[in-house]
Amino acid sequence: MLRIVGLLGVASLVIAPLAAQDAPAPTESENSIVVTAQRSGAPMWIVETTTGTVILVGEIRAIPKTTPWEPARLEEATRAADRVILGARPKISPGDIFRLMFSGGKLTKLPDKTVAGDYLDAGQLQRLEALAAAHEEDYSRQSFLLTSFGMLREELRFNRDTADDASNVVKKAAEKADVAITRAATLRGEDVIDNLFEAPPTAHIPCLVAAMDAVEAGPQIVEERATNWRRFKIPAVMNNPLESALGQCWPWADETLGSELRTIWVDRIAEASAAKGTTLAVVPLRVLAESGGVLDQLEQRGFDIAGPPWK
């Protein structure tokens, strides 16, 4: 089943940028946590405030096991933090599961008796048919979203032989050390499903085109993405065809859901800036580093951000 995240209305930003004030020097303990986290090799940004420190870990999903980073250092930093913030998650009810079971065809097939050629232009259709023939698949009736994820999964195999993602590393360490965990939001499964069901096939064409770009670029882009992540070459990660494809697909590309998920993160980080001690937040890199993303918004609000260049 496709991984689905949720939809949640969020309030307008109301917290003043505390970082614009004269922040005291971080304590020895806060410095120690920052140094330990940085030794993990994951790209991160440090926000010093009047009350403490916020560490923003830029996460990409499906890191190959061959990527030379040190999750144990991130575990150590997590155990010493005062609190952790992880990504939004949907709250799926039994009713939501039954709805998916009995109405899942709406997610897997194009509506009514339509086919891909009813929505794609001639060039897009030619590319899709060429990939279908090369990989012995039939994409004619399949939903564009399912086709896109299927291509990335089967042809690029980007989610095979992977290590724990940063959020999994932090979650496990925080639970073992009894460090408080906050989710950016807990979202209703019903809203998630409604959002996905209501999207017309045309809404997923940019995702399909980006997925075809990624497959045509070749499987080496998987390792290149991870290598640039580890080397803190953030613009190169963002421009990688695989990362671009993931960013062009639901939920991040959804006009309503994607923008609200980004607003949630700005809210949570701004709230964390008023908390005492050290907050460690694991945030999707695309949400942090994209143009107009969380880092840009925090910078515009006066926060002093230390870390690798993101633009």
Render pLDDT for 161-177 as a digit per residue (tens, 0 to 9).
899 999 999 999 999 99
pLDDT, average across residues 65-77: 95
pLDDT band at 30 (very low <50, low <70, confident <90, very high): confident
Q: d(Cα 54, Cα 304) in Å, to the nearest integer? A: 11
pTM here? Answer: 0.84
Render pLDDT for 102-146 as a digit per residue (tens, 0 to 9).
565 677 899 988 999 999 999 999 999 999 999 999 999 999 999
Q: What is the DSSP letter of 270?
A: H
pLDDT at position 10: 24
pLDDT, average across residues 67-83: 96
The answer to whether residue 286 is domain-embedded is: yes
Render pLDDT for 195-252 as a digit per residue (tens, 0 to 9).
777 889 999 999 999 999 999 999 999 999 999 999 999 999 999 999 999 989 988 7
pLDDT at position 197: 76
Q: Which domain holds residue 176?
A: 24-104+114-306
The answer to whether residue 172 is domain-embedded is: yes
The answer to whether residue 186 is domain-embedded is: yes
Closest by CA to 281, choosing from 91, 63, 52, 69, is: 52
pLDDT at position 90: 65
**More confident: 14 or 70:** 70
DSSP assignment of 19-30: GGS-PPPPPHHH
The answer to whether residue 17 is domain-embedded is: no
pLDDT band at 14 (very low <50, low <70, confident <90, very high): very low
Q: Residue 310 pLDDT > 90, yes or no?
A: yes
Q: d(Cα 232, Cα 42) in Å, to the nearest integer? A: 8
Q: d(Cα 68, Cα 39) in Å, to the nearest integer? A: 12
Domain count, the chain: 1
**What stretches of the chain show up as alpha helix (H) in DSSP?**
28-38, 71-80, 94-103, 105-108, 122-134, 144-154, 166-177, 189-198, 205-217, 220-230, 234-239, 241-248, 257-272, 285-289, 294-300
The answer to whether residue 211 is domain-embedded is: yes
pLDDT at position 175: 97
The answer to whether residue 273 is domain-embedded is: yes
The answer to whether residue 15 is domain-embedded is: no
The answer to whether residue 11 is domain-embedded is: no
